[in-house]
Amino acid sequence: MNADVSKDRDRVLDELLQGPKYPDREFVRFGATFAEVYAMAGALHAKLLQQAKPGMLVCLATEDKAIVAAALLASLSGGPSLLLPYAFSTKVLAQMHRTTGFPVALADRTGDFPEGVKVIRPQAVGSAELTCASGHNAAEVELVQIFTGGTTGTPRIWSKTGRNLFGEGLFLAERFGVTTSDCILATIPPYHIYGLLYSIILPLVSGATVVDATPSFPEEIVRIAGDTGSTILASVPAHYRALRDREFPLRLAFSSAGMLDPADNAAFCRHNACGVVEVYGSTETGGIATRHRSRGEEFFTPFPTLDWRILNGCLAVRSPYISSSLPLDAEGFFTTGDRAEAMGQNEFALKGRADMVTKVGGKRVDLDEISLFLKKQSGVTDCVVLALPDSGGREHLIGALIQGENVDCDKIKRALAEVFEPYALPRRMKTVEWIPLTQNGKYDWQSIVRQLEK
């Protein structure tokens, strides 16, 4: 992002703290107005500052979008940084407390928080004014720390500044023309980076309204979209698979948090004129690129606000949305774990994860190649292929969990044997009605491993 654009983004960010541009407009459909969100933010800011200590983190344990928005504004105006869990279970909250020692939690529920944690339940009281300290730089504020479980179950914490998150939100609003005429329905919760950007930050910077519910079942998604007059859907590949034959009165549909199957995309597009914009990125990098297959886009086009290159076969990015927790090279680039190939002047094709290449018996095996092959077999609607530790843990064996009806595993094994070398063949293969997913719509890797190890 060039310096002039960055300064303009920072100016808009400062203006956001001067008060709501559309005070009487609904922030939440059939719920809190922008003025009420700012009133809650002002009260929170004052209350948290009374208890604030240097480096203090406040756990944000709620899915209520008005509360999440108010907490973000309070943090942006100089309040303590927010800590976002990836789940609200007792186990996750305890793990996060051991890692960070957070003393305060904002919650609208009676959760089982660790001993000694003070729980605050926000209320919309007071004026719609936020007071910022003199010289306060909202763009540089560490706004949130996002606690993620990771595919291996090892927790990671990614720091995000006001510029990281609101800069991306402003870009998305401009790029896709999001305005006060829009109503956003998200099927991912607001404590997930994708949900946070599209259902909290995007409405705050654009004046759009957001639906407070986070539906996950197809009938529920369709009903709520109709009842609320939603114009924008932000969802995940697993939900688009279930929605492939449903019709929506949408003008925009986004998919992220995983690769959208081309067949699911095509089916959704046949019933909906808007098509699906696939957004590629991650918690730590922010958004990187988009692809709109219904417009003939076969490859991903990077955001114009960042720089990219291919390094050692993997995609590397230099972006204003990258977490400061990431290691950068001398030129400011972060190398992702995604294999990529440059296509044309300003596009790239994703070739799978670098960590999806493993070794079995000392020989290289590309797990993505096996997965793509399995998905083409009769009756298979989805599958996950992964490397499992063999006896002693020094070697790997390949496992495959297959979703579908009337799947003939023996026939699939014969087909695999005709294409792949013996060492690359899955030694554990199971069929299931549904592959386990997390609440964020991603594969639940721990549950998948448990099923394959039974």
Q: What's the mean pLDDT when you consider all of the chain?
A: 87
* pLDDT at position 151: 43
| Beta carbons of 52 and 240 less than 8 angstroms apart | no
| Beta carbons of 320 and 1 less than 8 angstroms apart | yes
Q: Predicted confidence band at 152 (pLDDT cuts at 50, 70, 90)?
A: very low
Domain ranges across the chain: 361-453
Cα–Cα dist 130/43, whole Å: 9
- What is the tens place of the pLDDT at every residue in 158-214? 999 999 999 999 999 999 999 999 999 999 999 999 999 999 999 999 999 999 999
Q: Predicted confidence band at 128 (pLDDT cuts at 50, 70, 90)?
A: low
- What is the tens place of the pLDDT at every residue in 6-17? 667 778 788 888
Q: Predicted confidence band at 322 (pLDDT cuts at 50, 70, 90)?
A: very high
Please name the residues in contact with 76: beta carbons below 8 A apart, sequence gap of 6 or more: 13, 16, 17, 138, 141, 143, 162, 166
Neighbours of 406 (CB within 10 A): 7
Cα–Cα dist 32/108, whole Å: 15
Cα–Cα dist 362/202, whole Å: 48
Segment of 117-121, 144-148, 288-292 carrying the highest mean pLDDT: 288-292
User: At residue 363, does pLDDT exceed 60?
Assistant: yes
User: At residue 113, does pLDDT exceed 80?
Assistant: yes
Cα–Cα dist 258/441, whole Å: 9
Tokens representing 95?
């793990």
Return the C-alpha torsion angle 81, 82, 86, 92, nearest 10: 90
* pLDDT at position 245: 86
Q: Torsions phi, psi of 239, nearest 5?
A: -75, -35
Instruction: For residues 45-58, give the mean pLDDT.
Output: 81
3 against 309, higher pLDDT: 309
CA 245 to chain centre: 24
- What is the tens place of the pLDDT at every residue in 236-288? 988 998 898 898 889 999 999 888 888 889 999 999 888 899 999 999 999 99
Query: Which CATH code is given to the segment(s) 361-453?
Result: 3.30.300.30
Q: Predicted confidence band at 149 (pLDDT cuts at 50, 70, 90)?
A: low
* pLDDT at position 121: 86
| Beta carbons of 301 and 316 less than 8 angstroms apart | no
Cα–Cα dist 103/108, whole Å: 17
- Least confident among 157-166, 327-336, 392-401, 416-425: 392-401
User: At residue 3, does pLDDT exceed 60?
Assistant: no
Q: Please, is 251 exposed, middle or buried when counting C-beta atoms within 10 Å of its C-beta (0-12, 13-18, 19+)?
A: middle
- What is the tens place of the pLDDT at every residue in 368-388? 889 889 988 988 988 999 888
- What is the tens place of the pLDDT at every residue in 64-79? 999 999 999 999 988 8
